[in-house]
Amino acid sequence: MAEMKPGDVRTFKRGSGNAVVLAIGIWADREKGGALRIDITGTKKSHTTVTNKRGSTRYHRTLFRDLRRVLVSQGCWQFGEEGAETEVEG
């Protein structure tokens, strides 16, 4: 099977319907003001971000946590323990 790159789309059967695999690219960066941001890109017309800054319209604790876990497990998280507060609810 060919290597997937961000934006590649494939379908597969899941349950009674079809499902899609969308290859996305994710990386972490620091926003102005110090908050951490994870960029997500997939299709040519989409690029979005999620942040660990509470109160931001881009804040989503569980999505940030899950994407951070992927980056950490792949050795792509350069911010040490920063962002780990999303591991704890509340």
pLDDT in tens, 56-67: 999 999 999 999
Domain count across the chain: 1
Tell me whether residue 53 is in a domain: yes
Tell me whether residue 12 is in a domain: no
Sole residue written with tokens 């881009």: 58
Predicted structure pTM score: 0.86
> How does residue 18 score in pLDDT terms, banded at 50, 70 and 90?
confident
Tell me whether residue 33 is in a domain: yes
Tell me whether residue 18 is in a domain: no
Tokens of 45: 């017309």
- In which domain, by residue range, is 69 found? 25-81
Q: 48 near 65, Cβ under 8 Å?
A: no
- How many Å apart are CA 52 and CA 67, to the nearest integer? 11
The model's pLDDT over 25-47, given as tens digits with 9 standing for 90+, comes to 999 999 988 999 999 998 888 89
